[in-house]
Structure 1
Amino acid sequence: MLDTPINKQKSYADGKILRKTAGGVGIITFNNPEKRNAMSLAMWEGLGHALSELRDDPEVRVVILTGAGDKAFVSGADISQFEQERHNAQASEEYSRKSAAQRTLLANYPKPTIACIRGFCLGGGMLVAMLADIRIAATNSQFGIPAAKLGIAYGYDGLKHLVSLVGPSWARLLMYTGMRIDAAEALRIGLVERVLPDDELWNATMDFADTISANAPLAIKAAKITVAQVLKDHGDRDMAAIRDIGVACMDSEDFREGRQAFMEKRKPRFKGR
């Protein structure tokens, strides 16, 4: 992990969402450990503010999402709010509408995102993790979507991402049973990309983030755009966007810097242009 200074922390949602930066890495923490980082509507809104500010920070090249404490990444929605905010179809629809902008922002985020998962990752926490580009989990992690045990529908976006990661059969098993799976099973079925001992998780996640931050931003943007288009139906793909970012990469200062650094046998210094 690079020895980078941690910039001053900023908070949202009465301190339940925290944001800070470490070099080119932005870090967002779900800070509600008393409720195992269960997400309230205010936390969704705070997440949106934190993501927007890191998106607009030119020094930040990658964003990590993590949970406070060692019990949970996000244990799901804050069920204590259900009676007031999600007690029937109309109220649930309004709740979903209010959090839709934040979900869309994360789903379409222009910078790479990593979910650093320790402990419970359930329900809405699974949605947050699945919306990230990369999921790295501790061995003590547990995953599940208990919608069937609560009598609620999980929603199209969440299931679309679940099916894209684990396939329809595993998606059905997880949804029909509401079962929890451990980190080893999550790795086996493709829900997460890496599983590490608990005490190695954070440093390993930062190593991945630092590596991404040091690479060429335009090349990473090209990969992110292209993968997103690959996952769309054929008729919905924006092939022009893929061509445009490819041209931008080939005409960039970074491409020239990459070639020069290779010839000079040194590390490149990419500027994102």
Structure 2
Amino acid sequence: MKRSKAFANGQIEATSGDGIGLLQIVNPMRKNAVTAAMWRAIPEALHWLHADAAARVIVLSGAGSRDFSAGADISEFTELRKDAATARVYEASNSRAFAAIREAPIPVIAAVRGICYGGGFGLAAAADLRIASEEALFAVPAARLGLAYPADAVQDFVRGLGSQMARRALFTGGSLTAQELFACGFLSEVTSPDALERQSLALAEAISQNAPLSLRASKLALRAVELADEDMLREAEILGAQTFDSADYREGRAAFAERRRPVFKGE
């Protein structure tokens, strides 16, 4: 059964069905720029999708057929990001949104078309997997605006883009093409604009059919390795060990023996 819930007065939309969660940024008249209210709503929407709506994987996208997101809504900066004190408050909400994607217990796929700038680029960088249409453009224009990008989010750029490309993006503020980001490994796939939704949903479906406990253990182990976090690695090892006593492991073995598709329940 499909379930939907709107956040931030409908500018963040969450939908879940058949194990696939869709999280959409809805501000197409401003190239899906993210307002302060939308930044605050993203963690809540993500939590609802995986904790309440039973999503096993989430696809993050921008509304409409043109853009992923132009980043933070600059029209709010005069009041909400006018100096260091207000910027700290504003950027805390940015960081919580990035962390909610990065630390979600289930995989998050960013499906990117058109403009993916600033905070929008940051949201995509926090995701586990990224697919883009061939005309997509990426940029971090912070230096051109005279401000600094949140330091914790820079880590996502370094992990996703690699050291040199992250420096190029941050130092120049210039645009990077989907082809360039595929070449450096930031994108797992580049498609035609018409195929983007189909390809991202196909990837999400392939993930959603796998055992939820295995996915959670794998995501935690990947993060532990990336962060060189020994405590997190031990936690991932515990989660991994628990899968061997799970009903899903029994189902997986039975399905293999019976040459059928397994039906996993996350138990």
Q: TM exceeds 0.5?
A: yes
Which amino acid is 2:65 matched to? D
- Check whether the contact 2:95–2:150 (CA below 8 A) recurs between aligned residues: no
Which residues in structure 2 correspond to 1:192-203 (within 5 Å)?
Answer: 192-203=187-198
Instruction: Provide the C-alpha distance between the structure 1 equivalents of 2:232 and 2:38, rounded to a whole number of angstroms.
Output: 33
Once the two structures are overlaid, the 10-residue window that deviates more, 136-145 or 9-18, is 9-18
Name the residue aligned to 1:216.
Answer: 211
Question: How far off is 1:58 after superposition?
Answer: 5.7
Which amino acid is 1:245 matched to? L
Change (3 A) 1:218 1:9: closer
Question: How far off is 1:45 after superposition?
Answer: 1.7
Q: Secondary structure at the match of 2:186?
A: coil
Name the residue aligned to 2:154.
Answer: 159
Which residues in structure 2 correspond to 1:161-176 (within 5 Å)?
Answer: 161-176=156-171
Q: Secondary structure at the match of 1:114?
A: strand
Name the residue aligned to 1:248.
Answer: 242
Instruction: Provide the C-alpha distance between the structure 2 equivalents of 1:238 and 1:165, rounded to a whole number of angstroms.
Output: 20
Which amino acid is 2:139 matched to? G
Q: Secondary structure at the match of 2:222?
A: helix
Instruction: Provide the C-alpha distance between the structure 1 equivalents of 2:22 and 2:190, rounded to a whole number of angstroms.
Output: 20
| Deviation sequence 1:37-62 (CA, Å, 0-9, x none) | 00111011222221121121263111
Q: Secondary structure at the match of 2:248?
A: helix
Instruction: Provide the C-alpha distance between the structure 2 equivalents of 1:188 and 1:149, rounded to a whole number of angstroms.
Output: 25
Is residue 260 of structure 1 aligned with residue 254 of structure 2?
A: yes
| Deviation sequence 1:30-83 (CA, Å, 0-9, x none) | 010000000111011222221121121263111111101122111111000011
- Count residues in correspondence: 267
Instruction: Provide the C-alpha distance between the structure 2 equivalents of 1:197 and 1:29, rounded to a whole number of angstroms.
Output: 20
Name the residue aligned to 1:48.
Answer: 43
Question: How far off is 1:90 after superposition?
Answer: 1.2
Question: How far off is 1:242 after superposition?
Answer: 2.2
Question: How far off is 1:237 after superposition?
Answer: 4.0
Is residue 90 of structure 1 aligned with residue 85 of structure 2?
A: yes
Which amino acid is 2:130 matched to? R
Give the alignment partner of residue 79 of structure 1, picking from 71, 74, 88.
74
Give the alignment partner of residue 263 of structure 2, picking from 258, 261, 269.
269
Q: Secondary structure at the match of 1:257?
A: helix
Once the two structures are overlaid, the 10-residue window that deviates more, 91-100 or 110-119, is 91-100
- Check whether the contact 1:65–1:115 (CA below 8 A) recurs between aligned residues: yes
Once the two structures are overlaid, the 10-residue window that deviates more, 131-140 or 102-111, is 102-111
Task: Note the residue ranges of structure 2 that are not aligned, 5 or more in a row.
Answer: none
Identity of aligned residues (%): 36
Instruction: Provide the C-alpha distance between the structure 2 equivalents of 1:181 and 1:166, rounded to a whole number of angstroms.
Output: 11
Which amino acid is 2:186 matched to? L
Which amino acid is 1:192 matched to? L
Name the residue aligned to 1:145.
Answer: 140
Give the alignment partner of residue 181 of structure 1, picking from 176, 184, 207.
176
Q: Secondary structure at the match of 1:9?
A: strand
Is residue 34 of structure 1 aligned with residue 22 of structure 2?
A: no
Question: How far off is 1:102 after superposition?
Answer: 2.9
Name the residue aligned to 1:117.
Answer: 112
Which amino acid is 1:25 matched to? I
- Check whether the contact 1:135–1:194 (CA below 8 A) recurs between aligned residues: yes
Instruction: Provide the C-alpha distance between the structure 1 equivalents of 2:206 and 2:12, rounded to a whole number of angstroms.
Output: 25
Task: Note the residue ranges of structure 1 that are not aligned, 5 or more in a row.
Answer: none
Instruction: Provide the C-alpha distance between the structure 2 equivalents of 1:203 and 1:74, rounded to a whole number of angstroms.
Output: 20
- Check whether the contact 2:70–2:117 (CA below 8 A) recurs between aligned residues: yes
Instruction: Provide the C-alpha distance between the structure 1 equivalents of 2:233 and 2:10, rounded to a whole number of angstroms.
Output: 42
Once the two structures are overlaid, the 10-residue window that deviates more, 111-120 or 225-234, is 225-234
